[in-house]
A = this chain, B = another copy of it.
Amino acid sequence: MADLSRLSMNHVTLLEQCSMPQFVDVLARNDVRLASLWRDKAREHGVEKTAALVRERGIGVSGYCWGGLLTSPDAGEARQRRDDMRRALDEAALLGAPSLIFVAGGVDEVEKSVGEARKRALEGVADVVQHARDVGVRIALEPLHPMICATRSVLSTTKLANDWCDALAAEDIVGIAVDVYAVWWDPDIEQEIARAGKRVCAFHVSDWLADTKDLRLDRGMMGDGVIDIPRLRRAVEHAGYDGPIEVEIFSQRNWWRRDADEVTRVVRERFVSAV
């Protein structure tokens, strides 16, 4: 049973329902004090305006989603993406977010090398580490599910995230985000979370629906799927993480179609009963 004071709502859970001001209103109305901000939504409203808005309304920012896609073999594109990652870090700093979620990027369809893509992603992170330090925002390496390895993220396991952290040797400013949806299947997850220890800087929850229909947009509400979420919560807590728990549900066929207040009420209930 998770403590509601740790609940952070990721804007993506209400992606289709809410602009930034609407999202902040829903949180305030439903007594949710923490938010993980979605970059597109923050930029749509304006990053400085968003920073002022959350400050005024007393909403704490637990994270900023996301920057990255650093796997391109094209030098020009790679440079552009690293610059964009630096801008995302600047925005995160302005918003008061302690960390920026890092999404690695996929595999080039001509090159067809997941190994080369991984090499470039790691080099890309190394290249922006000093900027992250300068602006005081942690880079949260987020292993994503192997089913989106081709298109979104070649960082497929927590073991690889730990290996990258070892290689970067920047424990002060690079951490790991553990998302139950991405890692629940991993036979080594408990040992790799223990290995991560204080690297764990974010914990995301949702659920894996047994009848899932889509590779990205069909996540379930906590309790509606097969993930033993409390087991994973205990694992990150045992590793030393006691920060916000972010609810991040991409759900084209269900939760994105419902009333935002209703979704938020269910999130609060399930946060207590299923996290």
Interface residues of A (CB under 8 A from B): 106-109, 112-114, 118, 145-147, 149-151, 154, 156-157, 159-160, 163, 184-188, 208-213, 215, 225-228
Contact = CB atoms under 8 A, between A and B. Distances in A.
B184 A228 contact: no
Contact of A186 (B112, B156, B185, B225): B156
Given A106-B210, A114-B185, A146-B146, 6 more contacts: A107-B210, A109-B226, A114-B184, A146-B147, A150-B226, A156-B186
Given A156-B187, A160-B187, A215-B215, A228 B147 contact: no
Copies of this chain in the oligomer = 2
Nearest to A154: B185
A185 B228 CA distance: 24
B145 A147 contact: yes
Contacts of A109: 210, 226
A181 to B, nearest CB: 11
Contacts of A186: 146, 156-157
Contacts of A227: 112
A149 B227 CA distance: 11
A109 B226 CA distance: 6
| 6 cross-chain pairs, A with B, having the tightest CB-CB distances, nearest first | A147-B147, A149-B185, A146-B185, A107-B226, A160-B187, A150-B226
